[in-house]
Chain A
Amino acid sequence: MGRLFAIEIIYRGIFQKTLATRISRAIVIAAHHEGKMGISFGRYGDSPERNGIPAKNFAIVATDEQTLEEGMAKYEPKEVDVTLCVDDTLCKGVESWAWYGLQPVNKLLKPGGTLIVTSREGPEAIIAMAHRKETPYQLSILKGTVSFSGLWVYKDDHTDVRLLGAIAKVLPDLFSLQSVQKAIIDEWKDELKATSAAKSYERTSSITVQPNQGNPEVPYKFDLPKWHEMGEGIAIPSIPAGHKMDDPTSHAQGGFQPDRNPTFKKFSTRTMRPVVNFDTCIKCTLCWLQCPDSCFDVTPEGLYDANMQACCGCGVCEAVCPVKECVTMVNETEFKDNSSQWEDWRKDKDGYKVWLQEKIKSHPERSHGFRYRGQYEEQIPEMLEIASEK
């Protein structure tokens, strides 16, 4: 019996779709240079075509045709040798369909498999974000910012080939660096990219993550109903409009809280989240009006608290808020939970002020696209620095 390899690429819809496709293609082509055969495909659904939504690409490779067919006789691989995660905020989890809930980024990794993450964070931060796994796995960090390489005007930043070089290092049975370089020449006819792959190959190292390390939360589980338990006519219960808010301290009723879908939480769709300064808010209602996901609870005293189970991190509230630094988008990697900012503020207003000032330092450089004209040029020196780091 031959050997089967599976690699998944976890990425964000639209922005990183081209990048993910380039990587999974090149994996198959590199393996082809070693006499292996394979297929490359994306998760079939809406996620690749939706801004920022966690999506997946796969490459399946085998040493012979019959083994490849065994790998193909499934909708998606049930286990993988390597998981590539090209946006570190996705280490908090992946949720492609509403009813999947938040699923661990390392869920499909075989025991001893490697999670490769592109990030500027250190291993501690990445491990803390990822759910615990029953078996040890390897973690390898490829230094870099979140890449949009290949999307419209975004320049080729070599993230694709650097990841390919890293795969050759952590999974040498799949293919050698030489085969990766041949595939790069086939696909892009670019010597410089081949050199980038080699550099990344040299630099790649990994550490072991033990079962007691990581986010201890138990991932969301679900059972789908049997056909005769389901209602007929494709009609499902809807979400009621909402109700008055209950002040947790005084129990006064007031404001407005929309009801939310209890099984559809948008934790991992965002790369950044708003932080609200309740002391400077002028209660203009704009954030509440413009938020596409009805995230804001109107508190009994008329403040606006963004609910972090509903927020998709689009940044509209920041854009419309007329008060300087009243709503600030902050990198998602800065947060460990989804608690209510308003409740935290009410408990300790001075403490909240300090917390807020600390958080808003981590204003995202880029999220769903660059944030202003010329930002790309500004970031080139920083990226060059990453490239020359040892």
Chain B
Amino acid sequence: MAVATVIEEQKHNIEETALITGSEAIAVACKLADVDVITAYPIRPYDTVMQYVCKLVANGEMDCEYIVAEGEHSQFEIVKHASACGARVFCGSSGVGWMYAMEALTVTPALRIPMIAMVGNRALDDPGAFGVEHNDALAVRDLGWQLVWVDNVQEALDTALIAYRVAEDRRIFLPCAISCDGAFLTHSQAMVKIPSQEKVNEFLPPYDRGDLLLHPDNPITVAPQGNEDWVMEIRRQNYAAMERAYGVIKEAYADFERIFGRSYGNPFFEEYMTDDADIVLLGMGTLSISVKVAIRQMRKEGKRVGFVRMRWFRPFAAEELAKSLQRFAAIGVIDRDYSFGSPYLGGVLAGEVRHALYPGPGKKPPVVDFICGLGGREVTVPDVQKMAESVYKAADGKAQPLTQWIGLRE
């Protein structure tokens, strides 16, 4: 919660304070962004967003086309087409609902559709479970979706606005999914500052699809058959857009700070008590709260542990992260996900972090991976202390199992 620091409060433009959930915050961002088309299909925990948007529309506070689709696949297809026609769009899902939309999710980045989706992170069935796991959003990590994780209600609201700004930038035109941990973020109410419409308008220009606008006055055919003569070049264009996203995200955060007076520091990852840290833990989403509480306790015992919370997973700020991580004697990655049969049987995030460290010129601290918090299980303070102990041992050169399950009944 400490992330969003109020740098200055501009007097002429007083922000409203409200007690809302992470899902409500995303809905409020949709209202402020004046989204044109929203599609919905219920699945917990994402459905809380559609309920709030629905309420805003019903109360006359928001004017948008609100379509309840007959399943997630159509839900994502409808906004894809609306976006091609120049509408600012929003949708979202959770868990297997997101997976059910997979074919639509796949074609969206290739068509350069700046769709914003909220993923209320949820375990993939089976067993049916509502709790958070990150495998749902991570399933699209290779496809051209920008992926960002937030850990508090204010950040959810702000990031949604930033996501529109970045995704709809002509240099990018790629979809972006904002991941909010089910329950911990989607269902808990906290006090947030709601930016004024005036400032949002200053920050977020209208969506302009330009030459890609699907309209009778601009006759174009979208998505003709391509085959081997064309596919590679098309993929290379997507690659370039994602490459550019890194810089556009930085620009957007700088502008956000200038206009709203709230700073997030490094957009890609937050560092907590790393200045003098011997070792660090690294993770995404709301487990940050337990980690920070545990770090404060460990520091009282003289253990200098730091924390890195990844926000943007795509694009992945590899060079910047590697440079930061090389300062520490060992790294513990906390995966709220799994990747069965992957190298060292670790989670997705640990694989990415090791990958980020490997090519660089600097030193390569040992990386220990912890799989925990699956299906919404709480990541406790003692869990975090246990992880830090193992990372300390790795720093001392004592071999540690590369992948450890924490908080499991064994």
| Interface of A toward B, CB cutoff 8 Å | 24-25, 28-29, 32, 37, 39-42, 44-46, 65-66, 68-70, 72-75, 224-228, 234
Contact = CB atoms under 8 A, between A and B. Distances in A.
B376 A70 contact: no
A344 to B, nearest CB: 40
Nearest 7 CB-CB pairings of A with B: A41-B188, A44-B183, A75-B378, A73-B290, A40-B189, A73-B293, A226-B409
Contact of A74 (B294, B380, B408): B380
Contact of B19 (A40, A44, A226): A40
B381 A73 contact: yes
A215 B292 CA distance: 41
Given A28-B189, A44-B183, A45-B130, A227 B289 contact: no
A352 B91 CA distance: 61
B126 interface: yes
B189 A227 contact: no
B127 A234 contact: yes
Contacts of B290: 73
Given A28-B19, A225-B409, A227-B410, A41 B189 contact: yes
Contacts of B127: 234
A69 B292 contact: yes
B253 to A, nearest CB: 23
A345 B126 CA distance: 47
Contacts of A66: 293, 296
B187 A42 contact: yes
B57 interface: no
A44 B376 contact: yes
Contacts, number: 66
Contacts of A45: 130
A62 to B, nearest CB: 11
B410 A70 contact: no
B2 interface: yes
Max chain B CB contacts within 10 Å: which of A37, A74, A226? A74
A228 B296 CA distance: 35
Given A28-B191, A40-B188, A41-B189, A65 B409 contact: no
Assign chain B's interface to a size class.
Answer: 20 to 34
Contact of B409 (A24, A70, A74, A224): A224
B70 to A, nearest CB: 21
Given A66-B296, A72-B289, A73-B290, A234 B189 contact: no
B240 interface: no
A29 B20 CA distance: 11
Contact of A39 (B188, B294, B409): B188
Contacts of A46: 130
23 contacts: A24-B189, A28-B191, A29-B19, A32-B19, A32-B191, A39-B190, A40-B19, A40-B188, A42-B187, A44-B187, A46-B130, A66-B296, A69-B1, A72-B289, A73-B290, A73-B294, A73-B378, A73-B380, A73-B381, A74-B380, A224-B409, A226-B409, A227-B410
B189 A70 contact: no
Given A28-B19, A227-B410, A39 B189 contact: yes
Nearest to B381: A73
Contact of A227 (B45, B126, B296, B408): B408
A42 B376 CA distance: 14
Interface in B369-410: 376-378, 380-381, 408-410
B293 A25 contact: no
Contacts of A228: 410
Interface string B289-328: 1101110100000000000000000000000000000000
B384 to A, nearest CB: 9
A40 B290 CA distance: 18
A31 to B, nearest CB: 10
Contacts of A226: 409-410
